[in-house]
Structure 1
Amino acid sequence: MSVLINFLSKNSKFLLFLFLQISALFFTFNRNVYHNSILEEKIISFTGFLDSKISYLTSYINLKKENERLLEENKEYRNKFLGKTKKIKPEFFAMLDSTKYKQKYYYTTADIISNSITRSNNYLIIDRGTDQGVSPEMGVVTSSGVVGMIINCTKNYSKVISILNKNTRINARLKSSKYYGTLLWQGEDPRIMCLSDIPKYVSVKIGDTIETDGKSKIYPEGILIGRVSSKSIDEETGNWNISVELFQDMGNIQKVYVVDKLDRDEIKSLKDSIN
């Protein structure tokens, strides 16, 4: 009690000033229409600011659920407009691209469990395995580009060799001219890959789109990969060395599509018989 009394006695002048100031502001804003309108405007502005932050926080919390909803809608859209609705396996949906490249494949969604981009040989783990119809040599993509290829599976999980792996080789082409080469990662910038084996007489422009060429049994034709960011002539081969800036940020992936060409086994059997 004595502490409170001492505090009041030491700060009596300041407290009196504060009381008079608050009283003056109260009477000013309470009886003056102009000042009252200013105060009301500030309150509305502050309330709106606070509500917008709360709305943003709520949207962020619900982001995962919203992403899942959009993926399901995207799956239904592709199924409706790009192909048949025949269901191959419980987790897979058939897809026939009859309007563009006339290719057959099917796909399912998966979540990324783990991912690395800083090593020389990077891998991902997804939450789909043999029980969901996933098997090695299936491609993994997003709506923005190629992610990698499945190399090993358990019942409910699969290991994916990332495109950011020095052992990865992807058949890729210039979308404009359809000339194709080999896309690989040189182990440096996770945003940049290198496209080689394109002859120097082929016209290459900065900004040209790079996509899959469909010649492998892993990825369907026409999957976007990136854009040409720089180019130079290899003095040894005389071909272009093309730097490709990836469309997909490999360090920021939550959802992917697992893709398998429906005629993959038939093509593999034919190649084996030739070998």
Structure 2
Amino acid sequence: MQQIFNFIFKNSYRMLFLLLMATAISLTIQSHSYHKSKVISSANFLTGGVYKQINNVNEYFNLRTKNEELALENARLKSILFNRKDTLKVPLLDTLKGVKKTDLIVAKVIHNSYSAQVNFLTLDSGAKNGIRPEMGVINSLGIVGIVENVSPNYATVLSILNTESPINAKIKKSNHIGSLIWNGKNTGFVQLIDVPRLASVRKGDTIVTGGQSTIFPENINIGTIEKIYTDDQTNYYTLDVRLFNDMTSLGHVYIIRNRDRQEILTLEKKTQKNNEQ
């Protein structure tokens, strides 16, 4: 206590000066609107900066939630798009209410292989989420693969980077159909084979899904033509297709559930059986 009194006594003149200066500044600010506005503006600048930093931190920790919300919204919009026959028409109300032929299930890639001849992805969703084998998998850039096996909580997907499972595809501008395969060489390219020589093809033309299967809807993006090869012994082209997707870096994906798939397969099987008799 004695030390406190000694400190005040030794610095009494300085403390008195500081007190008087603070009083003078306070009176000046209160009696002059210009000075008052400047002080308030400075205080707002400081507190605003602090609040902005706090908000940035909160937004960073909420990124995962925001990403999931965006993925769900993308799934809803893509589902509406796939079920519209004419993009110039207003979609029917039942489509907006969820009564539609094609549904999209959101999942996240938790494992991705791309260095083998037959590559697989693992998703963090499975049978409990409605995923079944032979469902198509896409993301915002284009096709990813086809569901191979499913457990209650997980699913494996046969990537388009495989040498064993061709996918129906076409040249968008001309509708000429081919089979999409992978030659096992470059993860950025796949090949479209069995394209008729009468087709008009150019570098840069867009390749999309052909719609002749019950797995992928028509006109989902795949990539663009990079190189054109001609087989002199056949009447077909082989096209090198640069993928829109970076198959080495995948996040959220959408699994396509076609409600009419089983009905179509049953009808086709019945028709084939009748023709064999």
Tell me the CA shift for residue 86 of structure 1. Answer: 7.5
Of 140, 144, 147 in structure 2, the residue corresponding to residue 143 of structure 1 is 140
8 A Cα contact 2:195 2:236, kept in partner: yes
Residue matched to 1:27 = none
Q: Secondary structure, in 3 states, of the residue corresponding to 1:183?
A: strand
Return the alpha-carbon distance in structure 2 between the equivalents of residues 60 and 120 of structure 1: 38
Percent sequence identity is 37
The question of 1:154 aligning with 2:146 is answered no
Aligned residue type for 1:257: Y
Return the alpha-carbon distance in structure 1 between the equivalents of residues 80 and 134 of structure 2: 26
Return the alpha-carbon distance in structure 1 between the equivalents of residues 208 and 69 of structure 2: 27
Tell me the CA shift for residue 79 of structure 1. Answer: 5.4
Aligned residue type for 2:73: E
Tell me the CA shift for residue 61 of structure 1. Answer: 5.9
Return the alpha-carbon distance in structure 2 between the equivalents of residues 209 and 185 of structure 1: 17
In our comparison, the structure showing a higher alpha carbon Rg is 2
Q: Secondary structure, in 3 states, of the residue corresponding to 1:186?
A: coil
Change (3 A) 1:73 1:197: same
Q: Secondary structure, in 3 states, of the residue corresponding to 1:147?
A: strand
Return the alpha-carbon distance in structure 2 between the equivalents of residues 229 and 116 of structure 1: 24
8 A Cα contact 1:130 1:155, kept in partner: yes
Change (3 A) 1:134 1:94: farther
Q: Secondary structure, in 3 states, of the residue corresponding to 1:236?
A: coil
**Tell me, which stretches of 5 or more residues in structure 2 are unaligned?**
1-48, 85-90
Residue matched to 1:70 = 70
Return the alpha-carbon distance in structure 2 between the equivalents of residues 185 and 133 of structure 1: 29
**Tell me, which stretches of 5 or more residues in structure 1 are unaligned?**
1-47, 88-92, 96-103
Q: Secondary structure, in 3 states, of the residue corresponding to 1:270?
A: helix
Return the alpha-carbon distance in structure 1 between the equivalents of residues 64 and 208 of structure 2: 29
Of 121, 124, 140 in structure 1, the residue corresponding to residue 121 of structure 2 is 124
Deviations along 1:77-99, one digit per CA (max 9) or x if unpaired, are 34567563587xxxxx554xxxx
Residue matched to 2:189 = 192
The question of 1:169 aligning with 2:177 is answered no
Of 214, 220, 225 in structure 2, the residue corresponding to residue 223 of structure 1 is 220
The question of 1:232 aligning with 2:229 is answered yes
Q: Secondary structure, in 3 states, of the residue corresponding to 1:267?
A: helix
The question of 1:246 aligning with 2:243 is answered yes
Tell me the CA shift for residue 63 of structure 1. Answer: 4.2
Return the alpha-carbon distance in structure 2 between the equivalents of residues 232 and 63 of structure 1: 45
Q: More deviation in 125-134 or 58-67?
A: 58-67
Return the alpha-carbon distance in structure 2 between the equivalents of residues 130 and 262 of structure 1: 16
How many residues align? The count is 212
Return the alpha-carbon distance in structure 2 between the equivalents of residues 257 and 271 of structure 1: 27
